[in-house]
Amino acid sequence: MSSNTLSSDTAPNSSTVSITSFTVFKRNKLINGLGLAIVLVSLCLISLFSVTHFRKGDMDTGSALYLMWIGGYLCWASIYLTLSSENVKWISSFTTFITLMLLVNFVYFLSELIPFNKSNFRGEDWRGLIVWSANLIILLALFIRLRKDMALQNGVTTEQFKKRLNTFFNKGVKRIVIVTLLLLGLLFSLRIISPSLFNFSSNYLTSVLTHSPKATHDVALFFDAKAEQSTFHAKQALKWFEHSHDRYNKQAHHYLAKYAYYGIGMEKDYKKALEHFERVECGDDLLCHAKVDETIGDIYSSGKLGGDTEYELEYARVYYQSAAKQDSISAAKKLAQAFGKQNDIDQEFHWYRIAANAGDAEASLKAGQIAYSSHQMKQAAKYFNMATIDGNLEAKARLSELLLTGQGVEVDINKATSLAIEGAKALPYFSQYVLGAISLEKYKATKQANDLDKAIKQLSSAGSKGIAHANAMLGDLYLSGDIVSLDMEKAEQYLKAASDGGHKWSSLSLANLYAQKNDPALDKETFNLYLTASKSYYEAVYKVAVYYELGKGTAQSFNKANEYYLEAGEDGSHVLALTNLAIMSYLDYKSDENQAYGNSLKARIADGDQEAQYHWHQHIRAYENIDYHLQRAIQYARKKQYPKTLIAQNLYNLAVLYSDKENPKFNPKFAIENAKEAAQLGNLNALNALSVWYGSTKMQHKNNGLSKQWRAKAIQKGTVVAKQIIFDTTKHYDL
C-alpha cells in the first residue's frame, strides 16, 4: 500500500495521503529501534526522577505515581503506534490531546499562584482534583481516539468501530474498567470526605511497597496525633517512628526522644531519650535548638542516668546555658536554680536577672529576693517592681517594705500602704509587719498614742507568726527605750526570736547584748551569734576574729583569727581588724620559729642555693603586708574619726617598721616623719624613738641636739627613755 485516504468519519478510500516517509521510517529497523530506545530511556528517567524525589520527600505519593503513570502511558502509546501503524493520522490526534493535557496542567500551575481559601473544603484544594479528573478524561479520550484512527486506517467504518467499542466494554474489560472507575471515584470521594484517612492509606501503602522514609514518617505522624489519648495509637506511632528511623529519616529522632522521655507507648528510658535528643537536627530553628538543649539539661539534672552525679549536673548546666543563650526563659530559670543549689549566688542572680529582663514575673521575684538578701537594695527594688507590674502579689508585699524604709527607692508611705494591703493576699503576716511599721512612722510624726498602740499590736501579731523583721523592730524598740520604756528582758526576747528567724542584724545586736553581760557562760552562744551575723556584717566578722584570738566561746586559733581579721579589714575596712592584723603579722614574723627559718635561708643563700634566694624573698615579703595593713588602718581611722591614740599607735608602728634594716622598704626618712606625727598626737613611744634615732648613726640622721630635745620631751611626759625601740603590740578589741 503506497498511499491511503483516511479521515476520522469516512472509509479508508475517501481521500489519499502520501505516507512514503513514514513507511521508510517503519521499515528502517535501525531508526525504529533507536526511537524505541529513546522512549524507554525517557520512561526510565521519568521513573527515576519520581522515585528519587519521592524518597527525598520533595514529592508526595500521588504526584510521584501520577507522573510515572502519565509517563508510562505516553510511552506505551508511542511504542504501540510506532510499531502498529502505517498512517500518520494518529499523529494529529495524539498531538491535539497531549497539547490539551499540557494546557490543562499549565492552567493549573498558573492557578497555584492565586491565593485560595481552603477552609471550606476541609483543607483540600479542589483545583487539584479537577486537574486529576481532566487528565484522566483526556487520556481516556486519547485512547479511544487512537483506537478509532487505527481502525479507520484498516478499513473499518465509524459504525463498525462503535460496535467494536461496545463489544469491548461488554466483555471482561468492561468490568475491569468499571471497577477501576469505581475505585478512582471512591479514592477521590475519600480524599474529600476524610483527607487524613486518604493520606494515611496512600502513605501506608507507599511505605509498605517502597519503604519511603517520608511516607513511613507520615504514617507515624498519623498515629502520633492521638498517641497521648490512646495506648494503641502510642504503640503504633512508636513502631512507625522506629521504622522511619531505620530508614534514615532524621526527623524521627525528635519523636523517638519524646516518646522515651515521657514514656509514651513504652516505659520511660532517659538514656534512650538522651541518645535521640543528641541526634536531633534543628537546622536554623533556634526555638528547636533551645527546647532540645533544655530537655537534655533536664535529663542530666534528673539524676536518673546512673552515672556520676556531679558530672551530670555539670553537663546539665552546660545545656541549660546553651538553651538560655537562645532566649529560653525556662532554661535560664533552671540554670539559676542549679547554681543556687551550689550556693553560687552571683551566677544564680545573673540568670534570674536574664529571665526577669525577658519578662518572667517569677524570675523577677527571685532576683529581687536574692538582691534583698545580699543588701543590694536598688536591685531588689528594681526587680520587685518588675514583678509587681505583672501582678505578683508577693513582690508587692516585698516592695512595700522598701518603699517604707527608703532602701533602694524613694520613700513613699502611701504607695507602701497600698502595696502592703494588696500583698496581704499572698503574704498576710509580712504585710501586717509593714503596716505596723507604717503605723510606727505615723506615731513618730503625729505622736498619737493610738498609732503607737496599733503599731505594737500589728508588729506583735506579725512577730508571733514568725516574721523576723517584726520581732527585730520590737527588740530594737525595747532595747533603745526611745519610744517605749526600756525593757532589756523584752528586748532580749524579741531579738532572740528575730535571730532564730534568720535576721542577721538581730543576731549581732543580741551578741553585743550578751557580750556586755561579761558572763563566761554566754561566751559560746555569743560567739555563735557573731558567727551567724558575720555572713552579713563586717562588725560581726571582726568579733569572730577577736573570739578566735582570745579563745572565747571557741577553741583558740590564731590562723582563724588572722583569716577573719583579714576579711574584716580588707573587705570591710575595719580599723581595729587592720590594726590587730598588722600586729599579729609582725609577731608571727618576729617569732623564734620564723626567725630561725630566716637564718637558715641566709645560710643556704651564702652557700649559693638559688632556691633559698626565692624563698627568702617570699619570707621578707611579710613586711609588705604589715606595711599595707598599717597604712589602711591609718587611712580609715582618720576618715572615720577614730581616737587619736589609735592613729598614733599605727603611725609609731609604721615608723618602727621603716627603721628595721631587714625591711626591704627600710627608709630612715619615712621612719622619722611617721614618728614625729605620732609624737604630735601624744604617742610616748614615738618621743622615745625620736630621741634614740637622732642620737644614732643607724638612721643616717644623727643630730645630738634634736636627740636631747626629744629626750627632754619624753622625760617631761614621764617616759623612761630606753635605747631599744620595739613594735607596740597593744591590741584594741573595742573602742
Highest mean pLDDT among 137-146, 422-431, 599-608: 422-431
Taking the whole predicted model, whether its pTM rises above 0.75 is answered as: no
Higher pLDDT pick, 302 / 459: 459
Model confidence at 374, pLDDT cuts 50, 70, 90, reads confident
Give 662-708 pLDDT, tens digit per residue: 888 888 889 999 999 999 998 989 988 888 888 877 776 678 888 88
Q: CA 130 to CA 136: how far, in whole Å?
A: 10
Model confidence at 531, pLDDT cuts 50, 70, 90, reads very high
Model confidence at 462, pLDDT cuts 50, 70, 90, reads very high
Q: Which residues does residue 118 pair with via DSSP β-bridges, in sequence order?
A: none
Q: Reply yes or no on whether the pLDDT at 306 is more than 80.
A: no
Q: Reply yes or no on whether the pLDDT at 182 is more than 70.
A: no
Model confidence at 326, pLDDT cuts 50, 70, 90, reads confident
Contact 268, 261 (CB under 8 A): yes
Q: What is the pLDDT of residue 194?
A: 58
Higher pLDDT pick, 30 / 245: 245
Mean pLDDT along residues 89-116: 55
Question: What is the distance, to the nearest Å, from the Cα of residue 592 to the centroid of all Cα atoms in its chain?
Answer: 56
Give 392-405 pLDDT, tens digit per residue: 999 999 999 999 98
Q: Provide the 3-class DSSP secondary structure of residue 721.
A: coil
Question: What is the distance, to the nearest Å, from the Cα of residue 650 to the centroid of all Cα atoms in its chain?
Answer: 51
Give 197-253 pLDDT, tens digit per residue: 666 666 666 565 556 677 777 777 777 777 777 777 778 777 777 776 665 666 777
Contact 474, 463 (CB under 8 A): yes
141-167 in b/e form (b: 16+ CB < 10 A) is ebeebbebbbbbbeebeeeebeeeeee
Cell 468519519 sits at which residue?
Answer: 9
Mean pLDDT of the chain: 78
Question: For helices 610-620 and 622-639, what crossing angle results, to 10°?
Answer: 20
Mean pLDDT along residues 552-562: 93
**Of the candidates 77, 204, 211, the residue with the CA atom closest to the CA atom of residue 149:** 77
How much of the chain, in percent, has pLDDT values that exceed 90? 31
Q: Which of 282-296, 425-439, 572-586 has the lowest mean pLDDT?
A: 282-296
C-alpha cell belonging to residue 141: 479520550
Q: CA 487 to CA 184: how far, in whole Å?
A: 99
C-alpha cell belonging to residue 112: 497555584
Give 344-368 pLDDT, tens digit per residue: 899 999 999 999 999 899 999 999 9
Model confidence at 467, pLDDT cuts 50, 70, 90, reads very high
Give 53-63 pLDDT, tens digit per residue: 555 554 444 45
**Of the candidates 15, 152, 134, 37, the residue with the CA atom closest to the CA atom of residue 93:** 152
Higher pLDDT pick, 685 / 123: 685
Q: Reply yes or no on whether the pLDDT at 160 is more than 50.
A: yes
Q: Which helix (H) or strand (E) holds 632?
A: helix 622-639
Sequence ranges of the domains in the chain: 3-111+124-206
